[in-house]
């Protein structure tokens, strides 16, 4: 080995020895603090999870909404962990005040960049606390409709009849016109009958059709009546509620049953007609 290589090797050994000395001194000086901090963190993690489950069970026993229950449980776990971290940091003799001040400055500096996500979290907190809808309700907002699957702080998850998952940022829900039809959705349709037929007979046949479907809600009951007097037909209007996840399936089946029932009752469904009259003007002599 050349003298240059020996010198470099000696410097590396010296540097490594200094690192080992620093680590050894740190462990000797702070070993009990490190062990205590680790024990506190482990106990805090177990305690936070246990308290979270206790809060969730208490909310379920009191029949509190599932979304609000999960929020209370997660908030409890977060608060316990924050307290545990503060206690663990204090084991090293570090003051928490400068740390909080630094976090405040960081939050203020990043508030503009995080304005969108933060507004979603704020809107999500508003939804969870005010509860304009809960899991299982059918909502329509921003021309989007579906069954509420989950309400998160950042977004609300909807499920459609086709099994599609729609994620709506909460800031697009709060402050907008919100339609909540709970677990059902209304079907509004109409069918035309001939002016020669008896409307009462047609309405009675339609009531029998709607009563034959178990999916159709009876509270509120279906509504059937004359909707309009059109040019070629008397329009019979129908309004009835069905489960949101069976909306189109039920509507298609009911429409087919309506067609069959009217045909069996000898009630005509007319098609649009126009009478065209040709007037011949006599030519001047």
- Point out which residues pair with 167 in neighbouring strands: 157
Q: Which pLDDT does position 213 carry in this prediction?
A: 95
Mean confidence (pLDDT) of the chain: 82
pLDDT tens per residue, range 205-215: 999 999 999 99
Residue with more model confidence, 234 or 35: 234
**30 — pLDDT class (breaks 50, 70, 90):** low
Q: With 50 as the cut, is the pLDDT of residue 110 above it?
A: no
* 3-108 belongs to CATH 3.40.50.720: no
Q: With 50 as the cut, is the pLDDT of residue 186 above it?
A: yes
Sequential DSSP letters for 193-234: E-TTS-HHHHHHHHHHHHHT-TTS--SSPPEEEEEEE-SS-E
Q: Which pLDDT does position 194 carry in this prediction?
A: 93
pLDDT tens per residue, range 61-76: 887 777 777 778 887 8
Q: With 50 as the cut, is the pLDDT of residue 46 above it?
A: yes
**202 — pLDDT class (breaks 50, 70, 90):** very high
Would you list the domain boundaries of the chain? 3-108, 132-180, 185-264
Residue whose structure tokens are 């490190």: 34
Q: With 60 as the cut, is the pLDDT of residue 109 above it?
A: no
Q: Which pLDDT does position 21 carry in this prediction?
A: 67
Q: With 50 as the cut, is the pLDDT of residue 113 above it?
A: no
| Strand ranges in the chain using DSSP code E only, listed in sequence order | 138-141, 144-151, 155-159, 165-169, 179-180, 184-193, 223-229, 234-243
Q: With 60 as the cut, is the pLDDT of residue 137 above it?
A: yes
Task: CATH number for 132-180: choose from 2.30.30.60, 3.20.20.70, 3.40.50.300, 2.40.10.340.
Answer: 2.30.30.60
Q: Which pLDDT does position 88 carry in this prediction?
A: 75
Q: Which pLDDT does position 55 carry in this prediction?
A: 85
Query: Across residues 25-50, what is the average pLDDT?
Result: 76
How many whole angstroms separate alpha carbon 255 and alpha carbon 242?
14
Residue with more model confidence, 113 or 149: 149
Interior CA angle at 227 toward 222 and 228, to 5°?
Answer: 170
Query: Across residues 179-204, what is the average pLDDT?
Result: 93
Q: With 80 as the cut, is the pLDDT of residue 6 above it?
A: no
pLDDT tens per residue, range 228-281: 999 889 999 999 999 998 999 999 999 999 999 999 999 999 877 666 777 777
Q: Which pLDDT does position 282 carry in this prediction?
A: 65
pLDDT over 90, % of the chain: 38
Structure tokens at 135: 């899991």
**Burial of 162 from C-beta contacts in 10 A (0-12 / 13-18 / 19+):** exposed
How many whole angstroms separate alpha carbon 34 and alpha carbon 47?
20
CB contact at 8 A, 33 and 92: yes
CATH number of 185-264: 3.30.70.100
């Amino acid at each position: 080995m050349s003298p240059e290589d020996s010198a470099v090797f000696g410097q590396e050994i010296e540097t490594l020895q200094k690192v080992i000395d620093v680590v050894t001194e740190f462990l000797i000086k702070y070993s009990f603090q490190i062990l205590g901090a680790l024990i506190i963190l482990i106990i805090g993690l177990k305690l936070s999870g246990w308290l979270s489950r206790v809060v969730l069970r208490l909310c379920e026993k009191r029949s509190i909404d599932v979304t609000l229950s999960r929020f209370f449980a997660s908030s409890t776990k977060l608060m316990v962990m924050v307290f545990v971290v503060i206690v663990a940091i204090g084991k090293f003799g570090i003051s928490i005040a400068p740390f909080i001040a630094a976090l405040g400055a960081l939050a203020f500096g990043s508030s503009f960049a995080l304005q969108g996500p933060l507004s979603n979290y704020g809107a999500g907190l508003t939804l969870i606390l005010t509860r304009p809808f809960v899991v299982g309700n059918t909502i329509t907002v921003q021309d989007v409709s579906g069954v509420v699957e989950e309400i998160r702080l950042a977004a609300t998850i909807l499920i459609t009849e086709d099994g599609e998952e729609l994620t709506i940022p909460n800031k697009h829900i709060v402050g907008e016109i919100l339609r909540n039809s709970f677990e059902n959705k209304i079907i509004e349709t109409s069918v035309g009958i001939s002016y020669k037929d008896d409307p009462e007979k047609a309405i009675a046949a339609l009531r029998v059709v709607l009563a034959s479907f178990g999916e159709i809600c009876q509270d509120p009951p279906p509504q059937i009546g004359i909707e309009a007097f059109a040019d070629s037909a008397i329009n019979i209007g129908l309004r009835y509620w069905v489960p949101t996840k069976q909306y189109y399936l039920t509507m298609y089946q009911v429409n087919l049953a309506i067609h069959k029932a009217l045909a069996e009752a000898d009630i005509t469904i007319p098609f649009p007609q126009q009478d065209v009259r040709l007037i011949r003007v006599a030519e001047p002599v």
